[in-house]
């Protein structure tokens, strides 16, 4: 991994900050991440965002005995940042629902097309990507800054392995900026406060919630969370959202969900249908073609008809 054992560099030389240690899944090395104070206009910023308790600034805690969704997803995408428990859960899911491998790739391709569309065709220059995932090809800042290098991107995730990869998410073009916040999606106040150190909320922002809302159960009010985030954005902002579909290949998806939930520790996935997922866009204006399967959302070339058990869409705030 680039940068292991070295210090991250800002535009003015070595960045100052605290080191965080984390045991990496691929090879058992200790990685020192440098905590860099978030600063507007900066080249890099990363923050472990769990409050003021200095104890929070110690080594990243990884519980490798239970599966974590970020690492299961990484395995499905062919990544290496996963442990035995993650691989076992992922394989059980594949056995119940082999289509999951096509689903995650289609979801990832939607992410790239949606971000490119927002940057290139809607002029969006600010992105708040919540539920970032372990870095892979076409991370949000790479796609956005390939269109407009001045794009500013704030990533948010609550998985410790994603935190260990924060540096890979912070390789901004010098004209733009990236930041990483270690926070739970339910903590919208903290996310918005911290994101405002990098993003200007008086100007349009694209909020991306891709393959994360199924990890927020109904009792935690996922629609309220989306509404709170969008209420904080300016007119002309966008919401890009994708969500596993409970009404496509329903038997296989339900069995996959049951198996994964049994292995995910405290996190539970909730499968939702088209109508439930479309309601996340209430109060916004959907961009054509609306809430569809990802392979049908503005494909670069005509897409195959193979079903993908995901619903996705992009909508604008008036
Ligand atoms: C399935 S991955 C999706 C990654 C990426 N958005 C994509 O679509 O390719 C879900 C991500 O959401 C993160 N996540 C799950 N629950 C979360 C929560 N409550 N707050 C913040 N992040 C969360 C997981 O750690 C994981 O990285």
Query: Which domains, ranges and CATH numbers included, belong to the chain?
Result: 1-65 (no CATH), 100-246+267-316 (3.40.50.150)
Q: What is the percent of the chain where pLDDT is above 90?
A: 72
pLDDT value for 285 = 98
Residue indicated by tokens 């569309």: 117
Q: Whole-angstrom Cα distance, residue 78 to residue 134? A: 12
Give the pLDDT band of residue 10 (cuts 50, 70, 90).
very low
Residue 55 has pLDDT above 50, yes or no: no
Closest residue (by CA) to atom 4 of ligand 1? 133
- The partner residues of 129 in beta bridges, in order of sequence, read 155, 208
Q: Which of 93, 191, 212, 240 to mutate to test the pocket of ligand 1 (most atoms within 8 A of CB)?
A: 212
Residue 58 pLDDT:
58
pLDDT for the residue numbered 11:
31
Tokens of 29: 């090395």
Q: What is the pLDDT of residue 22?
A: 43
Q: How far is CA 101 from CA 89, 167, 279, in A?
A: 14, 27, 26
Give the pLDDT band of residue 195 (cuts 50, 70, 90).
very high
- Look-up: residue for tokens 């969704």? 69
Around ligand 1, the residues with Cβ closer than 6 Å are 69-70, 73, 107-108, 111, 131-133, 157-159, 162, 184-186, 210-212, 215
First CA to last CA distance, the chain: 43
Ligand 1, atom 11: closest residue by C-alpha: 131
Per-chain mean pLDDT for the chain: 84
pLDDT at 167: 77
Alpha carbon distances (Å) from 114 to 88, 111, 138, 144, 159: 31, 5, 12, 10, 24
pLDDT tens across 276-293, in order? 999 999 999 999 999 999
Residue ID of nearest Cα to ligand 1 atom 9: 108
- Among the residue ranges 46-55, 189-198, 224-233, 234-243, the one predicted with the least confidence is 46-55
Chain centre distance of CA 192: 15
Is the four-CA dihedral 135, 137, 138, 142 of positive or negative sign? positive
Distance 255 CA to ligand 1 centre (A): 21
What's residue 220's pLDDT? 97
For residue 131, report the distance from its CA to the centre of ligand 1, in Å.
3
What pairs with residue 126 in β-bridges? 152
Q: What backbone phi and psi angles, to 5 degrees, belong to 316?
A: -110, 140
3-class DSSP state of 111: helix
Distance 158 CA to ligand 1 centre (A): 8
Poorest-confidence range of 99-103, 160-164, 273-277? 160-164
Q: How far is the CA of 156 from the centre of ligand 1 (A)?
A: 9
Residue 248: its pLDDT value, please? 98
Give this prediction's pTM: 0.85
Are 111 and 137 within 8 A, CB to CB? no
Nearest CA to ligand 1 atom 26: 70
In whole angstroms, give the CA distance from residue 255 to residue 240.
27
CA of residue 212 to ligand 1 center, whole Å: 5
């Amino acid at each position: 991994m680039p940068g292991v054992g070295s210090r991250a560099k800002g535009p003015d030389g070595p960045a100052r900050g605290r080191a965080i240690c984390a045991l990496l899944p691929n090879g058992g090395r200790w990685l020192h991440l440098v905590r860099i104070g978030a600063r507007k206009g900066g080249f890099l910023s990363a923050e472990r965002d769990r409050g003021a308790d200095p104890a929070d600034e110690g080594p990243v805690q990884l519980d490798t005995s239970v599966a974590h969704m970020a690492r299961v997803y990484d395995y499905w995408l062919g990544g290496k940042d996963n442990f035995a428990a993650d691989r076992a859960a992922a394989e059980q899911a594949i056995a119940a629902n082999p289509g999951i491998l096509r689903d995650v790739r289609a979801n990832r391709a939607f992410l790239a097309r949606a971000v490119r569309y927002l940057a290139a065709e809607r002029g969006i220059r600010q992105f708040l990507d919540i539920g970032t995932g372990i870095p892979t090809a076409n991370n949000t800042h790479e796609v956005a800054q390939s269109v407009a290098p001045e794009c500013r991107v704030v990533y948010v995730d609550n998985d410790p392995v994603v935190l260990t990869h924060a540096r890979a998410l912070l390789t901004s073009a010098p004209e733009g900026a990236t930041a990483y916040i270690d926070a739970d999606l339910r903590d919208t106040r903290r996310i918005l406060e911290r994101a405002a150190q990098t993003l200007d909320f008086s100007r349009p922002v694209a909020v991306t919630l891709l393959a994360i809302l199924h990890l927020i159960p109904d009792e935690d009010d996922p629609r309220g969370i989306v509404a709170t985030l969008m209420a904080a954005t300016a007119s002309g902002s966008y919401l890009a959202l994708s969500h596993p579909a409970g009404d496509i290949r329903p038997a296989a998806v339900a069995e996959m969900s049951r198996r994964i939930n049994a292995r995910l520790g405290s996190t539970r996935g909730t499968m939702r249908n088209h109508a439930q997922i479309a309601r996340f866009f209430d109060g916004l204006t959907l961009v054509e073609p609306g809430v569809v399967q990802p392979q049908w959302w503005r494909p670069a070339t005509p897409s195959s008809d193979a079903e993908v058990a995901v619903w996705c869409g992009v909508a604008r705030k008036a």
